[in-house]
Structure 1
Amino acid sequence: MATAAVIFIPFMIYDRGYFLFYGDFNVQQVPFYQMCHDAIRSGSWRWSWTTDLGANFVGSYSFYLLGSPFFWLTLPFPSAAVPYLMGPLYILKFGCACMTGCIYLQRYCRSGNLAVLGGMLYAFSGFSVYNVFFNHFHEAIVFFPLFLWAMDEYMYHRRRGVFALCTFLCCFVNYYFFVGQVVFMIIYWLVRFFSNDPAYTKISKKDFGLLWVEAVLGVACSCVLLLPTLCAITQNNRINNPSNGWNALLYDSNQRYLHILSCFFFPPDLPARANFTPDSNSQWASLGAWLPLFSMSGVIAALQAKNKRWYKTLITILFVMALVPVLNSAFQLFNASYYARWYYMLTLMMSLCTITSLQREDVDWGRAIKWTLAITLIIGLSIGLMPTISTNSTTNTKTTTYGLEKYPTRFWAYVAIALVSLLLLVIVFKYYKNHKRLFLRMATGGVAIITVVYSLFYITTGKTQSDDTHNEIIPYALNGGKDISLPSDGKQFCRIDVYDGMDNLPMYWKRPTIQAFHSIVPGSIMEFYPTVGVTRDVGSRPGVEVYAIRSLLSCRWLFDPMNHGQDFIDPNTSGTRMPGWKYYATQNGSKIYENQYFIPMGFSYDKYITRTEYNTLPEANRSLALLKAIVVEDTAVQKAKEGGLTHYDKIDSASFAEEAYFADCKARAETACSSFTTDSKGFSAEATSSKDRLVFFSVPYEKGWSATVNGSAAEIVKVNVGFMAVKIPSGKAEIRFEYRTPGLKPGIAVTAVSFLLLGGYVYATDTTGRWRKKKLPEPPKTSE
């Protein structure tokens, strides 16, 4: 924790108490923590109105933080304190990762100090420092060693219940990483079994069966989060992308192989700024595995040693899996999107190889360090000095440049850190044979020194890529939008737009928005946006060309940050980049524009078209067509007619000019509900109508919604490709929508029953009435 504090505190001082980085960390991790903190404390944990167009709170945030005990530590603090806690929580996470790594590794060490050294290597590996960018990845780094420790406890001592509890913990903390951990655990067990490890081969059928019972009970105990999560993510189109064809055998970029190799010998590249291999298409892939001070020398030493060891077989298998796409994808259910987000498991095995090699007499460390140095130099000099000859087509002259890296200064700094690390290792090894205690102290200190140096360099270079924290994020985002005052505040629900600004800026202000950077949102949002020509993968960022959806989605205000991006005023026309917007005021560092054709939430149509008819329209006209007629699924035509709608004949020949758009907006606004209010359970609206009609709400269609009209249950109709509508009668109608998280109640029941079964299992299988240790041979404190 002291080492981590030396890394983070200087940045916290510089950023006035906050820890800010760049990219995803600034625009996701910080606002997500604060928004979820506020939602739970206020009881608004069912539906999030500030996540995209609205989202299942549990399903959307179980991946990011809901299972993290570090997040729950923020709850006693007030909302304003949460952004200040990001740095201290990181210090705590790194300390905990070292501790849990030590807990696992100490079984294989002669001394606790050696296990601490291994824990340092694991906690401050290139993977951990790289993923400062992704705050929620560190939970997996912290808890995975306990998973392995629990497996060993069962296999060595038949300790009942511990493996089930650690299975629950890892699954509950993050389901995505748990999938990879299960794959690793199966490989780990099989390798040790077929390597004739006594603790793993001397297992009865009964004990083997009980091990599976514990695994199943552990997963079942996590169902309070797991079931709601499964209900949410199965709607996500990103999960259906299996490896196939040649892409399952070979990476499509030859540079990626070098990127994978270099990540073991050099400190990590910035996530969005691949340097060693600029065209490897590995941005954000979490390619980092370098061990400070030792680099690959301990792993090479272990592989070169003559005696056979199970971890040599295991780490060889893991390296092969890293190089074969389909095997690499096994750690994420064979999804073809390239990620190396399982490398923290690899770095733990690399740390194990390093510390076990330090206590073996048959290891030639000098040879291993020479091999590490040679490979480091070959990679560094090959990339850094490789000539490239280019020919000017106009003058027919040839120019020679040297170096394949994208950022030379940063590249040579990485090379220097890697070489200085090895030089310091050589100096430390002078005390290896005759002063073992001093060697361990110097090695641990060396790891801390190199860690601080490369981490400070990494975070500093990352901060140079970020938005201006002192001119934008701190004064205008982290202030919670306290300087924003709009006439609709507290009176009318509306969404806001941000033109070419920082992602998720409205989330900092606790305001609903149409701009969002979030990977896990309702499937209906991902269904809707592509139909109007907007790509929806990890974010909702509709461009100005689909201006009509602003009115469709009840967007009244647009913020144009003055210190970020382009100006909303087009310099060529001196007008706004979207029709119908007018300058309102300058507040909180942004110019604010008002939508003159704003449509309040809950409005109606006179006509309908079917989904098939909608799909036949040119993509550019669809967003405009959504203001002319409501789109119903082909099977729901009768419901449209019962809602007082008539068919819009010849929609393809309708006018889609700006004037027609303005007229459509006015017509829809005239039918809007007289009130629309949100609360912790859903929303309420009031409307008055002279006839039966369908009322449309631009709230994502989800199975958890139920509706009543004037106190009677009402059917929710899926309309406009992913949104909801409900039929109201003539006269005054009181509309109420409530949301219940799908899978939450069954998940709570399964979790409760599973914990009871787990308690009964431990009691029944432990004849002493407590967790007992059944003595089996401990591994020799040398290398097993």
Structure 2
Amino acid sequence: MQARPRGNYFLFSFLFGLALAFVIFLPFILVDGGRFIFYGDFNVQQIPFYRLAHDAIREGNIGWNHLTDLGVNFIGSYSFYLLGSPFFWITIPFPGEWLQYLMGPLFILKFACASLAAYVYLHRYAKNPNAALLASLLYAFSGFSVYNIFFNHFHEAIIVFPLLLAALDEYMYAHRRGIFALAVAACCIVNYYFFVGMVTFTVIYFFVRLIAGSWKISVRDFLLLALEAVLGLGAACILLVPSVLCILQNYRVSNPISGWNALLYDRPQRYIHILQCLFFPPDLPARPNFTPDSESKWASLGAWLPMFSMTGVIGWLQMHRRHWLKKMLWILFCMALLPGLNASFQLMNASYYARWFYMLTLMMSAATMMALENPRIDWKRTIKWTTVITLAVTLVIGLMPTFIKEDDEIVSVTWGLEKYPTRFWCYAAIALISLTLVVFLLTFYVRGSKTFYRASFICLSAVITLYSIYFIALGKTQSDYTYNHIIPYALNGGADVTIDDLRDDRVRTDFYESLDNSAMFWQVQSIQAFHSIVPGSTMEFYDSIGVQRDVASRPDTTHYGLRALTSVKYLFDCDHDEDYFAGEDYASPGMPGWMYYGNANGFDIWENENYIPLGFTYDRYVTEDTYENTGEGHRELLMLKALVLTERQAQKWSDMLTELPETEIKYTEEAYEADCAARAKLTCDTFQYTNTGFTATITTSRDVPVFFSIPYEDGWHAYVNGEKVDIERVNVGFMAIRVNAGTNIKIEFVYQTPGLLLGVLISVVCILLIVLYMLCMRTVEKYRRRMVVVPHNMVVRPLSHYAKKHNTSFENHPLIRLKPRFKPDRALEKKEDFPDEC
């Protein structure tokens, strides 16, 4: 490569990453008609989530979102996925129909930004900017980054993390004030989940460097650094506070790791998986191959550095010298192998994830860069070690015999422990060919020369492009529904479905054994939803009726009463799969009371004859004790007979409701139909969602409780004819209010996102404090620059004295400077071994 001014490399790192990502994604964008469609979660979450959130924001509907599950807190539910992402906000000016065509270009931009961010951090520690550029590409296109194409929203964390460390370095080396606070705010806003891991890493990073003697800090500077961290966290409260209040309702956060599970993984294969991810390209998220029984699906186990693999890392660790990066790497490897320490990156949650490995890959990229620039690295030795480990894993997993016995006699032998042999040997081939290229570069080029870097960039670009394309292509083979369902029937928004009331706010839908979030593609209400963050009342309700609600709501057809309770009117059954709602002959519907409606947009459509419009009334009640004593399979049927109340609520509404005698409780299909008919007799005349909640009208000759199958949350406020009324939490997790007799009674529910106002106030105050802090620090800095620091026995005079005497200005004179703002790394044995960290 041609020598360039150092400053140009910032732009060049961005453009290099942009070009590589463009080459990788372009073939798939062209094949999919301008779209980028992958498989699994990316297809059924990222694409519809972007469109739904995009349209909601453009319409000003940022409070309650009724198109997600039974309804969700929009900010609390979508801040994890995209609301803090600047890449999402880039899409807002574009029409909603363009979103499907923007996913690919956004990914290309993300990889380019990751390369730039890594260079911003790494260039400080490089003698040659080409080495930093090489390492930035290793980070941006590491196994972790390519693996998590599956999870579109993970790449924002990959981008901001190097900037956080770079900001901390600026504070420690140059005393640059305020940048660390801004970096903390950016990391927290982008994704609060990943921010927890970043905090853990940054604390370790800070103290390791202090202990290693790489940094020195005064008590004053430490307190100012802590102040910046607090102010940065406060500036992010606009999203953080509503998100925390929402996520605390999710039972998945209350699962701390403990006991032996904190010391040893319960799956021995997981240790092999962790080792393998360092030396081989990543497995597909849902298809672990090397270790199929490691229970690590979707765990983001990927840390391979393209082409160089572990050669530079092992070389750096083998060098006989003390250095902070060696300590960091050993600590991180130990944390990866100990479940309790691994869990520290996710608030000690027991669920296994390695979603902090992008931090590890940044340190590994730095080690590779430093190893390339250090003349004392024994590359023959490190390549030998890397090759031996790679071959050992390949041969053991690829050729290990498994004896199949019958009646204690061996009847056959299978070779290999992998699940998909063809893919396995392709992974192994990529890893070994990459090592061969490293040997080629070190043998035929002088390490550190221009020709060496030129050849390295060519070889690295080839490996990155080929392995990334192979990974994406492999993933696309797992989704056979791209061309026969997603493009023709999902992305068209259900345009061919001509049901007049399909998008009526009183109507929900059901999609039988169909693509997850099919309703979200069409932007219609549905009880089927694949979304991790929903109100706690929704999870409590589903748990009470025996429906598992962890990452998705997928009630099966045994819960037919649930459909009536939640106002489901239409069911869509994909007509080109083998899962038939009513059998191949359409004669046996999976639930009672469903009649065939017609076929459109790739679906057979069924209509619920027992449909109850959203917003209906009761005349009976049962207590929670009666409900708890009812079997789970009958509980939603009981809710169709009577309203489930606490003892206090029963006394409060005793003038409107009478208790349902146990002798009248029957769970037959005839009773079910009668109960649905009784509930449908008196319902709201109108019902409509608004940007602040929903409104309804009803006419009733008696005082009644009006029930809405909308999840209860603290942010709801209800008004009847303009007067505020109490909202009661009924039927385990839903809402009901009292309405007195009258004609055309107006009901209004207003939703205010819990914690949003508080978060905005905290953010505004902290941002103002950050600005004030930076102005104060700048004033202090200017004052300090006016003074000359001289030995204690000399007179200290302001610079203006000498400027006037010599008729010149010394503001930028190289010989007039303050005390050194950092202390050189004590671990450096020779200056030429490591670049000046200034």
The TM-score range, normalised by the shorter chain, is over 0.9
2-structure distance, mates of 1:632, 1:38:
37
Q: Once the two structures are superposed, what CA deviation does each residue of 1:637-669 show, in whole Å capped at 9, x if it has no partner?
A: 223324x01111217x61101111000000001
Which of 408, 422, 435 is the matching residue for 1:409? 422
Q: Which amino acid aligns with 2:92?
A: L
1:752 aligns to 2:780 (yes or no): no
Q: Which moved more, 1:768-777 or 1:284-293?
A: 768-777
Secondary structure of the equivalent of 1:545?
coil
Q: Which amino acid aligns with 1:723?
A: F
Once the two structures are TM-superposed, the CA of residue 492 in structure 1 deviates from its matched residue by 5.4
1:212 aligns to 2:229 (yes or no): no
* TM-score (norm. length: structure 2): 0.91
Which of 705, 708, 713 is the matching residue for 1:702? 713
1-structure distance, mates of 2:718, 2:453:
66
Residues 595-614 of structure 1 correspond to what in structure 2 (within 5 A)? Answer: 595-614=608-627
Which of 93, 110, 114 is the matching residue for 2:131? 114
Name the residue aligned to 1:473.
486
Secondary structure of the equivalent of 2:169?
helix
Name the residue aligned to 1:462.
475
1:183 aligns to 2:200 (yes or no): yes
Q: Which moved more, 1:98-107 or 1:680-689?
A: 680-689
Name the residue aligned to 2:436.
423
Classify 1:492/1:765 alpha carbon distance in 2 versus 1 (closer, same or farther; 3 Å): closer
Once the two structures are TM-superposed, the CA of residue 635 in structure 1 deviates from its matched residue by 3.5
Which of 170, 188, 199 is the matching residue for 2:187? 170
Classify 1:573/1:558 alpha carbon distance in 2 versus 1 (closer, same or farther; 3 Å): closer
Once the two structures are TM-superposed, the CA of residue 125 in structure 1 deviates from its matched residue by 0.4
Q: Which amino acid aligns with 1:97?
A: A
Which of 55, 71, 77 is the matching residue for 1:54? 71
2-structure distance, mates of 1:710, 1:781:
80
2-structure distance, mates of 1:10, 1:568:
38
Q: Once the two structures are superposed, what CA deviation does each residue of 1:47-91 show, in whole Å capped at 9, x if it has no partner?
A: 111110000000000000000000000011100001110000000
Once the two structures are TM-superposed, the CA of residue 563 in structure 1 deviates from its matched residue by 2.4
Q: Is the 8 A contact 1:478 1:508 kept in 2?
A: yes
Classify 1:490/1:133 alpha carbon distance in 2 versus 1 (closer, same or farther; 3 Å): closer
Greater gyration radius: 2
Once the two structures are TM-superposed, the CA of residue 765 in structure 1 deviates from its matched residue by 2.2
Name the residue aligned to 1:9.
26
Once the two structures are TM-superposed, the CA of residue 466 in structure 1 deviates from its matched residue by 1.2
Q: Which amino acid aligns with 1:193?
A: L
2-structure distance, mates of 1:659, 1:416:
64
1:337 aligns to 2:354 (yes or no): no
2-structure distance, mates of 1:396, 1:268:
38
Name the residue aligned to 2:681.
670
Name the residue aligned to 1:448.
461
Once the two structures are TM-superposed, the CA of residue 731 in structure 1 deviates from its matched residue by 1.4
Q: Which amino acid aligns with 2:66?
A: W
1:649 aligns to 2:661 (yes or no): yes
Residues 386-401 of structure 1 correspond to what in structure 2 (within 5 A)? Answer: 386-393=400-407, 396=409, 398-401=411-414
Name the residue aligned to 2:821.
776
* TM-score (norm. length: structure 1): 0.97
2-structure distance, mates of 1:573, 1:293:
56
Secondary structure of the equivalent of 2:307?
coil
Q: Which amino acid aligns with 1:606?
A: D
Q: Once the two structures are superposed, what CA deviation does each residue of 1:262-286 show, in whole Å capped at 9, x if it has no partner?
A: 0000000001101000000000000
Q: Which moved more, 1:485-494 or 1:499-508?
A: 485-494
Once the two structures are TM-superposed, the CA of residue 441 in structure 1 deviates from its matched residue by 1.6
Secondary structure of the equivalent of 2:687?
strand
Q: Which amino acid aligns with 1:297?
A: T
Which of 113, 117, 123 is the matching residue for 1:100? 117
Classify 1:565/1:227 alpha carbon distance in 2 versus 1 (closer, same or farther; 3 Å): farther
Residues 415-564 of structure 1 correspond to what in structure 2 (within 5 A)? Answer: 415-433=428-446, 436-489=449-502, 493-564=506-577
Q: Once the two structures are superposed, what CA deviation does each residue of 1:472-524 show, in whole Å capped at 9, x if it has no partner?
A: 10010111111111131465520100000000011010101000000001111
Classify 1:720/1:477 alpha carbon distance in 2 versus 1 (closer, same or farther; 3 Å): same
Name the residue aligned to 2:10.
none
2-structure distance, mates of 1:693, 1:769:
70
Secondary structure of the equivalent of 1:63?
helix
Once the two structures are TM-superposed, the CA of residue 746 in structure 1 deviates from its matched residue by 1.1
Secondary structure of the equivalent of 1:766?
helix
Q: Is the 8 A contact 2:572 2:604 kept in 1?
A: yes
Once the two structures are TM-superposed, the CA of residue 161 in structure 1 deviates from its matched residue by 0.1
Name the residue aligned to 2:104.
87
Which of 266, 282, 295 is the matching residue for 2:309? 295
Name the residue aligned to 2:633.
620
Residues 546-585 of structure 1 correspond to what in structure 2 (within 5 A)? Answer: 546-570=559-583, 574-585=587-598
Name the residue aligned to 1:327.
341
Secondary structure of the equivalent of 1:433?
coil
Q: Is the 8 A contact 1:467 1:473 kept in 2?
A: no
Report how many aligned residue pairs link the two structures: 778
Q: Is the 8 A contact 2:616 2:708 kept in 1?
A: yes
Q: Which amino acid aligns with 1:47?
A: W
Name the residue aligned to 1:718.
729
Q: Once the two structures are superposed, what CA deviation does each residue of 1:710-759 show, in whole Å capped at 9, x if it has no partner?
A: 11001000001100001000112211101111111111111111111111
Classify 1:31/1:776 alpha carbon distance in 2 versus 1 (closer, same or farther; 3 Å): same
Name the residue aligned to 2:739.
728
Secondary structure of the equivalent of 1:742?
coil
Structure 2 unaligned segments of length 5 or more: list them. Answer: 1-17, 786-816, 826-830
Q: Is the 8 A contact 1:128 1:138 kept in 2?
A: yes
Name the residue aligned to 1:74.
91
1:765 aligns to 2:782 (yes or no): no
Once the two structures are TM-superposed, the CA of residue 433 in structure 1 deviates from its matched residue by 2.9
Which of 699, 708, 713 is the matching residue for 1:688? 699
Classify 1:215/1:541 alpha carbon distance in 2 versus 1 (closer, same or farther; 3 Å): same
Name the residue aligned to 2:799.
none
Which of 311, 327, 331 is the matching residue for 2:325? 311
1:150 aligns to 2:164 (yes or no): no
Secondary structure of the equivalent of 1:321?
helix
Q: Is the 8 A contact 2:503 2:524 kept in 1?
A: no
Secondary structure of the equivalent of 2:418?
coil
Q: Which amino acid aligns with 1:650?
A: E
1-structure distance, mates of 2:561, 2:584:
22
Q: Is the 8 A contact 2:372 2:447 kept in 1?
A: no
